[in-house]
Each structure stands twice: as C-alpha cells, then as structure tokens.
Amino acid sequence: MKIGLCLSRCGGLISEAIYLPYLADEYGELAMVMVYDDIFAAQEMEALWADVSASGVEAVVLAGDSPRRFEYTRKGMLLVERLEEMGINFNKIAFANLKEQVALPHRGQKEEATKKAKLLIDVALAKVECSTQGEVVEVAPHRSILVLGTTLGGLVAAQGFLERGYHVYLVDRASRLKDFSPWQEEMQALLSAVQLHPNASFSLGSTILDFWGWCGDYSVKVVNDQGVQSIAVGGVIVALGDDEEWTDQLRLFLHIDVDAEGFFAVKDSRTLPVQTIDEGICVIPRYHGPDGLSYQVTRGDLAVLALAQVLDRPQIRHEVRVSKVDESLCGACGTCVKTCPFKACTIDALRKVSVVDPRRCKGCGNCVVACPTGARDLAAFPNDYFLRAIDILGQYKPPEGAMVLLLLCEGCGYAGLDFVGMTGFTYPTSILPLAVPCGGRIDTQYLLEAYHKGFDGVLICRCEDGHCRNIVGNVDLERRANLVREVLRSRGIDAERLQIFSVARCESSSCAQTAAQFAEELKKVKELSKEGKAKWAVG
C-alpha cells in the first residue's frame, strides 16, 4: 500500500519542539512525505490535496494537530472529506497527534519529543496498514424530523422544519403541553402554528421503546395510551430542557455525549452549538442564564439550520464501523448479543453465526472484545493495530522514569490529555498515549501484552459513571480489569501496576496529573526494588 505522510509545522509550534526535517528524512521510504506550515490554511490545504493526488497514495497519515481539531471544530473535517472524495478510504486516513500530545507538553525536550513523535507516527502508520477498507452505505434522507421534548426550543425547531416542508413528530413524556410562562404571550402563536400544522404529529405521554439507525434514516418505536407507533425520521432534535430522568432513559438509545452534569452535550458550545457526535441529532441544551427566551429561540433556529444543511443533501454517506464476522471462528455462543447495549448483534438462526446490523452498531468495539473466539473486529480499530501499537510504543526508551501506557477513551480522556497540552502543563515523555474508541474496546489481552512488552504500568482513563456514550463501556472495562488484576497477581506482577481513573469529558488537567503521579509512584517502587526494599516484578 502506498502511504503518504503529511507533517504540519502547526505554524511553528511543532517545528520548535520537534526536529521535523529529521522526522521527514526518517520516512523517506514512504511514497510521499511532505511538510506543511499549517494544513488548515487554505493554500496549504490545497497544496496537500494536490500532493496527495499527484503521488497516487492510497493512505494518508496527518501528523500534527490532534484529531479533535478535525472532528470538533467547524468544517474541521473539510480536509479529510476532500481526501475521501479523492478516493482514499476513511479507514486509510489516520492522525498522529504531534502538537497537543508531544510538542506542547514536552517543550524544551526536543530530542525526546522527536523520538516520541516518531513512535506516534509509527502507530498511525500501523493504523492505516491494519485497518480494512471501510464500506460506505448511502441513504436518501427521510423528509421527517423527530422532536424530543415540547420545550420552547423544541417548538421553534419544529416550526422551522414544518416551514421547510418536513413532517415533524413531536414526542414528550409529559401528557400535557408545557406552560411557557413567563413567555406565554410571546410564544402562544408559535405553539398554535405548530399544533395546527397538518404535518405536525404530537405524541404526548409517550415513552421511547426503541431507537436505532443513522443520520437520514432513524427508526423509532414510541408508545403511549394510543398504542405503539413506529416512525421513520431523517433527523432528531433533542430539546429536553431540565428533564434529568428522561435524559437518563434516552441515553440508552441516543449515541451522544453528556456533559459533566449528565445532560446531553453539544460538540463545542462556541463553534458547534447544537451539533453532536451523531450528525443527524441536534441538541438544544438546557440554559439557566439571563434571557432564556432568546437563548431557546436562537438555539431552536440553529438546530434547524444545522440539521437541514445535512438533510437537504440528496444522499448521506455512512461509514460501516464494524467489519464482517469471521464465520470460520463464530460458534454462535451469543456473547456478542448479550453484550451489545445497542442490540446490534443477533444470531442468524439458519447459518448459526452472529450478524451485525450496521444501522444499530455504533462501533464501540465491546463485542469485539467480548467475543471469546476473536471472530469480530472493528474495521478502523482492528485487533492487529492495537497489538502493533503497544509493541511500537513499548520501544520507547525513556531517559528516566517509568514507562506508562495511557489508554485514552475518545469520549473522555483523549480530550483531557489534549487540554493539558494546550494549557501549558507538562508531563514526562515516558507517558505514552494510545486512543481507544471506548473503554469497552480495551481487551484484557492488550493489558497483558503491554506488561509483556515492557511497560511498567498501564493507566486507563474512562468516562465517569453514567457518562459512557456507549452506555456500558466503562462498566465492562472495570469488570474485566478486576479479573485481569487476578491474572497479574497469579504471575507475580504487582496488580497496582494497572490503574483506572474516571474523568469528565470536558477540560480538566486531571488526566496528565494522574498519569504523572502514577509514573512517579512506579518509579519509586522500581528504585526501591533495586535496593531490595520493595517487591517489583519485571516484565
């Protein structure tokens, strides 16, 4: 496979902290190695596309900014989308986070930072090499919208979509429409307009029984005293207001993050104020500041704008996240069925193998880990990739201190470690980060492998209780870790060398602080053991 490596100086931040020309030389064997000033600048972006096109590479590693800069900023994915249009499969595009996770936290340690940067690039290269070509499914979006919550913002959004010719289903668990005081006077006409509109269907006193699908094509099962109703919608507006209980119920169906208080969260309150990690779902966040009316109305309008931009496209592309089941290994035990919180797995009664519904699968990887035969894999985060990544990172020889593998869940810890870099906090270079899609993707085998490859400790950052976007990834991780500690003990390895801590998704420096503290403790125990004062089993 021809791979291209695009190194970004990030406007000088990276070239100050890392020997970039040396790195570029190191990868001279690749089909394409280019250095750009800042790949988000229009000219540079254009140059990158032209270089990729001219070199004919089939995979691209973008080394520089954090993948979050692409995924969580406005139009951040433009560069990547264009690469996909040029024929590069989405699973063949990987990121090496040299800015937030190397250059910024290891300023002034140019040599070590360069060594670490090389390892992170190697890991990204392993990712494009190990990932299988992802399948793309295109759907024509339904011209209908589900509005969850007949709050003010929800009604504004409903009206917006009605005006655009969409059918709107308004669902609320309350059996009566809410009172909009103190804004009854301002909002009464809007409420009437929605109520009287022929394309609006109200379903009050309702419970969501099931919800699955993807942007443009969601299936919803709703029940109330009128009976069970199955509806198909193209997009969803979540406007629950302060309803904590309903949020908890819906969290089992909607694959979106929650904020520190456990309410549904948007991607970035400043640049993507209603968008969520699911393109087809917009959230109107609860608000307690001054002028609530204006806030709700603008957020309602923004949600219409944002969602309509997506749904007005004739076709919506979907990346199938889970790869095919290896039927030669699957004995239909049902573990995946039992494990999947999204009900994506079933056993095909005739063929006696497990099958995955791509419209239900969120790509968390819990079934991949749970499958006791290894018949499952994730297209973008395959088993081989993690084993190679652990092997690559394990090769780092720190000048001092203990080697820590820091496994970061994309939903929480990854952002946490980025934040640490951005705020000027530093931590030892021997803390080596590896992103996982979810705590539930952390296979017990990888933990054992990490110690085997020479890591002194493994630290896992997991979402706080009740905050996992995949519902149970953090719970299953804890359960597995408890048993893995027993395995470590049985082999004479100090079980304290595995630590798990939970972190809120949002900005906090606790991630690196915990890691640095852990590394310090490991170092102390290691030194004491050299003097014969403590027990230290080496891997």
Partner 1 sequence: MGRRVSVATTWLQSCGGCHIALLDLHEELLHLLEVMEIRYSPLLSDIKKVPEVAIAFVEGAVANADHEGLLQEFRERSDRLVALGTCACFGGLAGLRNLFHAQDVLTRAYVETESTVEGKVPSSKEVPELLRYVKPVHKVVEVDTLVPGCPPLPSMIKEAILSLISGEMPRLPTRNLCEECGRERKEMLIPKREFITEAVHAPFELHFIDPRKCFLEQGVLCMGPATREGCGARCLKGNMPCRGCMGPTPGAMEQGAKMINALASILPAGDLMFREDVVGVGYRYSLPVSIYPHLIHEERGEDG
Q: Which is closer to partner 1, CB of 513 or CB of 529?
A: 529
Smallest distance, partner 1 to C-beta of residue 219, A: 16
The Cα–Cα gap between 210 and 249 comes to 11
Do strands 431-436 and 167-171 pair parallel, antiparallel, or not at all (unpaired)?
unpaired
Angle between helices 110-130 and 383-393 (to 10 degrees): 160
Residues that bind partner 1 (CB under 8 A): 326, 328-335, 337-343, 345-347, 352, 366, 369-375, 443-445, 448-449, 451-452, 471-472, 476, 479-480, 482-484, 486-487, 490-493, 529, 535-539
Q: Which is closer to partner 1, CB of 327 or CB of 507?
A: 327
Q: Which is closer to partner 1, CB of 326 or CB of 507?
A: 326
The Cα–Cα gap between 84 and 78 comes to 10
Smallest distance, partner 1 to C-beta of residue 524, A: 17
Q: Which is closer to partner 1, CB of 204 or CB of 347?
A: 347
Q: Which is closer to partner 1, CB of 242 or CB of 348?
A: 348
Smallest distance, partner 1 to C-beta of residue 293, A: 40
The Cα–Cα gap between 147 and 162 comes to 12
Smallest distance, partner 1 to C-beta of residue 352, A: 5
Q: Which is closer to partner 1, CB of 214 or CB of 446?
A: 446
Torsion of CA 106, 112, 115, 121, to 10 degrees: 0
Q: Which amino acid is at 72?
A: Y
Smallest distance, partner 1 to C-beta of residue 475, A: 8
Smallest distance, partner 1 to C-beta of residue 207, A: 18
Q: Say which residues have a Cβ less than 8 Å from residue 360's Cβ, sequence separation at least 6.
A: 212, 213, 340, 342, 343, 344
Q: Which is closer to partner 1, CB of 310 or CB of 347?
A: 347
For residue 2, give the 3-state DSSP assignment.
coil
The Cα–Cα gap between 71 and 278 comes to 11
Q: Which is closer to partner 1, CB of 319 or CB of 326?
A: 326
The Cα–Cα gap between 121 and 25 comes to 13
DSSP state of 162: H
Q: 282 — phi, psi (to 5°)?
A: -115, 145
Q: Which is closer to partner 1, CB of 107 or CB of 452?
A: 452
For residue 407, give the 3-state DSSP assignment.
strand
Smallest distance, partner 1 to C-beta of residue 264, A: 20
Measured CA to CA in angstroms, residue 178 lies from 39, 161, 205, 241 at distances of 48, 20, 12, 11
Smallest distance, partner 1 to C-beta of residue 212, A: 12
Name all contacts of 516-521 with Cβ < 8 Å and 24+ positions apart. Answer: 516/427, 516/428, 516/431, 518/404, 518/457, 518/459, 519/401, 519/402, 519/404, 519/427, 519/428, 519/430, 519/431, 519/456, 519/457, 520/401, 520/402
Smallest distance, partner 1 to C-beta of residue 461, A: 18
The Cα–Cα gap between 433 and 51 comes to 30
